[in-house]
Structure 1
């Protein structure tokens, strides 16, 4: 990052009403983290020719219109459309290449982001032009960050770019864009906007639009914290930022779906963010209850949220538009993934290695929803905007925590018959991912190979247990822990890993060499499949899948 940009980051004033100088320290850390993003460069040897996007103004305009329609399926309908100058974007295809028109660098990033999402719809996610639009976006990132002035659109640009990076398997790059969004919120005082009331109705209207951005970034921050092991960047309190208003002078007649999604989204985001804040600060509090107990209470409330709003009924209602069902499914999966992530964090703190019934239930819900949309996609072949594309979107982020949770359950379960339905579901996921890697996204091949390798591990372990049972052998109990008894759960968990190793048959390790080069072993030198699953998940969340494209 250019030195003048770094100085600009470091000299931003602390927002009014900020109660502690800790913010200045955090802002400095964010500034340092953004240096890497400012140094982003495409690798010429691996991107030569791929970043050249030749698109006619007519097709570009079609892509933009497709993007505008798609914005209603991004988290909450209208969250980005309310902040963007759509007329300006519509004019860009005719002037973007003109040497006589000077545009803010951030406009280029937004433009290619819009083209990328539009090409998702008009071409397909794996088309060369779709990839080229993403690379063009990355090319303009350094100039955007080096710009001498910040704009109100910077936060939206960074938040949108973060999700585009996720869709392109660039999880580590997505984190850097997320940091840029967090920096923008904090440098402009958006993370404390409601400490003082608005002075005019106009100011309140502007704030409400910005609240949607804040809550979107806060929700993303929770996902990074729980699924990619990143530190918490935004800390929410009700006094600092209120939830967005559902009814406003600009939107006096919100649609029922918008009301439901807005209420559900802010509810589960607030619950997750509050619990994460409590866990992060638990060492400074009087622990009147264990982390696991408090997490259980929160997760039960999250489950109730889905039931209270009858969200699952919408997924099977054929009278509901597909785009609406897709959006509802996204939130349902998000809630269940949060449950899995929160329970994992609590178990790590309390030293519990097992999987309780609630975690298993949520993991199964995520996988079941994935497969429902994949099956619907197979019944509507040829519809590029249909469920197959949504299936690819769904598998690119939080569902992996559910998939790996099921693998842990299968390998730890002493009764093969109890785990067989879950293993069959995961084998269907592998088949679906393999099909998608052939027909939609070739980049999914490593994912499909890894899932297939894990399925072989799980199938081999369970077949070995069946032979042991039929031969009169015994297995040690290492199944699902009783969530209602934390003390006994901890005691059982201490023997779980040993129990798994005791029933593991001989494995053909060469079958997994492509997916994982070093198969973990127990202390006795025996294969450790549970360690294999956990190590492979760590590799998944830590790997830069597109590292060959950029530095």
Structure 2
């Protein structure tokens, strides 16, 4: 798929702020606004208020009539917010010296990462030997390690920990420590970030880590930098020349002509991951598009990347293909929302039903639930689970967007069933392994 030109806000990610609930309270029904402010007033820390605003109350706007006029829902949310307030002081007291990680243990986890991850997409831009030397280098006081390499090292270490079948090591504290250390490095990293493959890879890692830590604003900020770097490195013009809003060819980017097809496929794979992430921020957090239609010209890659169909990467390939089909559905919906079509309610609802049918067809084509039951390792299981959760979430959003459901005081039964099913699947996955960590903050 290639498209032509449009403009973007990517050049200044710090200024591309999406709608914030605190700035858009007028969209809430009056009683909802009072409830939200009452809950947030109990939170002392401004960062925690921002986290709740962007990760909880922003999403509840989609179902505000069903939530903020239901006493049981209000009480449940208030109890959760009170728990956050209670944990504020506890976390301040619990910030202790990070647990020591023996050098040989750290090297084992780096080895595990490289042994477990053989896919050509998202190939790490640092040599394995360099990362294996990191535990030793960290102990040498006069050696200064750059923030980019350090972030990549800690991310590799974290993934190696989660892949380790050895349950004798108490890893909960180590996981939290790595997360806090990595987040603490972000500001210094962003101050010196450059348009390099290493910084782009670090950005990919930190977008995910910040989201997993419920820090959507930081993740969004890093995502803006990732888009700028990718464009400078030629990711947006792999299969054509994006044009500006005036119809002229955009500013020159790094040429991709010298790259072989495997390298171009890898870059296509990474670009489409960026596009999927852009849709995530737009759909879930109300952010503006950083990859608008016309600002890029990139075909879908061969999902094997190398052209060799390796059985060990089948689930990654299925995840990519299913995710991209889901992304295209979301792009249709977001395009309609942006256009503010004046179609009548019946036509609009029928069109949304067609989109829901597309999502259901994606689940059926790969029989994802059965596929998940046949996985041989935890990574492949989570690839399947991600397809399920993403599909369910899109169906819920599309169903709730229908005019016949938008102002109802009752959620559609189908969406309630899907939400409960998602929770049950997640509960089952977390209960099936002792290597599950409930949060990393």
CA deviations over 1:37-70 (Å, ceiling 9, x no partner): xxx9xx9x94895464532321211222334456
Query: Which residue matches 1:113?
Result: 155
2:385 matches 1:329 = yes
Larger radius of gyration: 1
Q: CA deviation at 1:213?
A: 1.9
Residue in 2 aligned with 1:282? 340
* Contact 2:151–2:182, Cα closer than 8 Å, also in 1: yes
Any conservation in 1 of the 2:4–2:294 contact (CA below 8 Å)? no
Specify which of 89, 92, 105 is matched with residue 59 of structure 1.
105
* 1:510-549 alignment runs, 5 A limit: none
CA deviations on 1:243-268 (whole Å, 9 max, x unpaired) are: 22124446354544344223212211
Aligned residue-pair number: 352
Q: Is the 8 A contact 1:236 1:274 kept in 2?
A: no
Equivalent runs, 1:119-130 vs 2, <5 Å: 119-122=161-164, 127-130=172-175
Q: What residue in structure 2 maps to residue 81 of structure 1?
A: 123
Superposed displacement of residue 332, structure 1? 1.4
User: What displacement does 1:300 show?
Assistant: 0.9
Partner of 2:82: none
Q: Identify the match of residue 302 of structure 1 among 339, 342, 359.
A: 359
Cα 1:360/1:148, change in 2 over 3 Å: closer
Pick from 254, 276, 280 the counterpart of residue 223 of structure 1. 280
Structure 2 CA distance for aligned equivalents of residues 374 and 153 of structure 1: 32
Unaligned regions of 5+ residues in structure 1, if any? 1-16, 35-39, 378-382, 390-439, 445-545, 547-551
Deviations 1:158-181 (Å, cap 9, x if unpaired)? 121122123333333333333332
- Seen in structure 2, the aligned counterparts of structure 1 residues 273 and 129 have a Cα distance that, compared at 3 Å, is same
Match of residue 30 from structure 1: 13
Checking the alignment, whether the CA contact within 8 Å between 2:256 and 2:264 is kept in structure 1 is no
Matched, 1:167 2:193: no
Tell me the equivalent position of 2:397: 341
Aligned-partner SS, 1:153? helix
1:452-463 superposed matches below 5 A:
none
Change (3 A) 1:323 1:182: same
* 2:124–2:201 contact (8 Å) kept in structure 1: no
Aligned to 2:227: 182
- The answer (yes or no) to whether the contact 1:18–1:192 under 8 Å persists in 2 is no
Distance 1:232 1:87, change over 3 A: same
Gaps in structure 2 of 5+ consecutive residues:
18-46, 48-87, 243-254
C-alpha contact (below 8 Å) 1:119/1:125 kept by paired residues = no
Q: Distance in 2 between matches of 1:279 and 1:230?
A: 13
Match of 1:244 in 2: 301
TM-score (norm 1): 0.55
> TM-score w.r.t. structure 2 length?
0.67
Question: In the alignment, what sits opposite 2:421?
Answer: 365
Change in 2 beyond 3 A, CA 1:321/1:112: closer
1:344 to 1:371, Cα distance in 2 relative to 1, 3 A? same
Instruction: Specify the alignment match of 2:370 in structure 1.
Output: 313
Kindly state the Cα deviation for residue 97 of structure 1 after the two structures are TM-superposed. 4.2
Structure 1 contact 194–240 (Cα < 8 Å) conserved: yes
Could you tell me how far apart the structure 2 residues matched to 1:248 and 1:154 are?
A: 22
Return the alpha-carbon distance in structure 2 between the equivalents of residues 320 and 305 of structure 1.
22
1:475-490 correspondence runs (5 A): none
- State the structure with bigger RCO (CA 8 A, min sep 6), 1 or 2: 2
Tell me by how many angstroms 1:148 deviates: 6.3
Q: 1:112 to 1:186 in 2, by over 3 A?
A: same
1:134 is aligned to 2:179: yes
In 2, Cα distance between the equivalents of 1:252 and 1:315?
20
Kindly indicate whether the alpha-carbon contact (under 8 Å) linking 2:272 and 2:300 is maintained by their aligned counterparts in 1.
yes
CA distance in 2 between partners of 1:334 and 1:242 (Å): 23
